Amino acid sequence: MIGLLSLLAGATGLVPPPPPILISPPDPSQSTDTPAPQLVSWIPGPVRCETGAEAPVVEGRRPYNTLWNGRGSPPSAMAFEFAIDPTGRPLSIVRTSPPAYAQGTAGPALASSRYEVGAAREGCSITYQPVMRPADKAEPVELASYVMTNQTPRLPKEAYDRLHAGDECRPGTQPLMRAFPNFDDIPATPGVRDWAMIGFDVAASGETVNVRHLYGTGNDALAKASEEAVENSRFTEGPLRRNCSYPYWRNAAVLPAPPAPPRAPGWTDLCEALEWNREPQRIFPEAYLARSIEGWADIAYDVATWGEVGNVRVLRAEPTDDFGEAAKRMIERSSAQKNTGFTNCETRVFYRMQGSGAPEPASVNS
């Protein structure tokens, strides 16, 4: 609350002039300018397993680029522990830093990576280090990757201008006929959304010339088909326009979940006859849905006589603990009808893709 300062006139009745207003120079350390957004790329470190030997990488997938607005704590490294099966697939992936509730795309990236085929390896670890740069000064390939993986928020205008620097098609060149590849003939990569950015010029006639592949995810078939599509496209007539670009992409093929272990002999579901008051509603972890990565989790829990569900715990989950956390939340948010009470209920929850990528209807023990 601002206090009120009363000024008293002297005996002459004259009101003294107000004191001068003093303006202090700005403190450079207290700038009110909006911080420049930073593009964050996540660089994987080496993978070492319990023997101390480094696991050779066959296909290393990076987490998607992110955008940091400069407020709060900067992004920190993400670390994981996991195993590698004889086919080179990472399994039993557990986030160790930051904690498991810090959702992101590093878990799916590791789950879709592949290592050298050989003997199964345990006690493996990897750390993804953040590399930051002002978004308006980032490499165009990194900016394109951010856009092509549908990240949010949108890049600032300055970053888009850098991505399309020198693009003479932006002011108003319109496509008269945009050709596309036959995507059904292009192999999709399990767990990876492939994309290709194609550069080209537009001649005065509207034909495309100097067509070239700029950058992408390394799907050669997609890159070749995309170049052919641009060569067959036509644009409005006008002067020669240089440094134009257009992207094509292929959604990820389904990466099936690792096989779930068979139930022990004589195993029965103690809660099979349980009737739900609020049925479990499965929500596919978004970062895995975007990459078409399937998973499963075994969840144990107790049910009170009045229907409350408690003591929910993850017994096992594959390929990452994110599926276990998602299934645990699903059970915790459910409730049963009045019953005789149950302990050590056990449910296996599957997260499967079907059709064009939509998740199956929610169910448990499926």
pLDDT band at 355 (very low <50, low <70, confident <90, very high): low
- pLDDT above 90 as % of the chain: 78
Position 268 scores a pLDDT of 84
Look up the CATH number of the domain holding residue 130: 3.30.2420
Whether residues 47 and 138 fall in one domain: yes
Please tell me whether residues 242 and 289 are part of one structural domain.
no
Confidence (pLDDT) at 273: 82
Region 156-171 average pLDDT: 94
Considering only CA atoms, which of 163, 81, 85, 171 is closest in space to residue 127? 81
Domain limit, last residue, from 250, 285, 306: 250
Q: Are residues 106 and 201 in the same domain?
A: no
333 assigned to some structural domain: yes
- Which of these three, 119, 148, 177, is where a domain ends? 148
Q: In the predicted model, is pLDDT for residue 30 greater than 90?
A: no
Same domain, 60 and 87: yes
* C-alpha of 337 from chain center: 38
Query: Is the per-residue pLDDT at 25 higher than 70?
Result: no
On the 0-12 / 13-18 / 19+ scale of CB atoms within 10 A, 31 is exposed
Reported as a pLDDT band with limits 50, 70 and 90, residue 359 is very low
Residue 13: Cβ within 10 Å count: 6
Give yes or no: residues 232 and 332 share one domain: no
Asked if the model's pLDDT at residue 2 lies above 90, the reply is no
Q: Is residue 310 part of a domain?
A: yes
pLDDT tens, residue by residue, 165-206: 999 998 889 999 999 999 999 999 999 999 999 999 999 999
**Is residue 18 domain-resident?**
no
CA distances from 298 to 92, 123, 261, 354 (A): 13, 22, 10, 21
How does pLDDT run across 71-125, given as a tens digit for each residue? 888 999 999 999 999 999 999 999 998 764 455 899 999 999 999 999 999 999 9
Residue 153 is assigned to a structural domain of this protein: no
Predicted local distance difference test score (pLDDT) of residue 32: 52
Vertex 135 angle, CA 129 and 141, to 5°? 75
The token pair at 262 is: 């068979």
Measured in whole angstroms, how far is the alpha carbon of residue 175 from the centre of its chain?
32
Are residues 182 and 142 located together in one domain of the fold?
A: no
- H-helix or E-strand containing 58? strand 57-59
Q: Binning pLDDT at 50, 70 and 90, where does residue 20 land?
A: very low
Residues 143 and 177 in one domain: no
CA distance 62 to 58: 13
Peptide bond into 319 cis (omega under 30): yes
- Alpha carbon separation from 261 to 157, 298, 332 (Å, rounded): 50, 10, 24
Domain boundary, last residue among 250, 285, 310: 250
How many domains in the chain?
3
Residue 261 within a domain? no
Question: What CATH number corresponds to the domain at position 213?
Answer: 3.30.2420.10
- 282 and 319 part of one domain: yes
Same domain for 171 and 101, yes or no, is no
48 lies in the same domain as 83: yes
Residue 181 lies in a domain: yes
Residue 129 lies in a domain: yes
| 110 in a structural domain | yes
What is the pLDDT, as a whole number, of residue 165? 94
Q: Both 138 and 42 in a single domain?
A: yes
List beta partners, residue 346: 300
Round to whole Å and give the CA distance between 150 and 152.
7
Q: Give the domain range for residue 282.
A: 276-359
Task: Mark whether 199 and 301 lie in a shared domain.
Answer: no
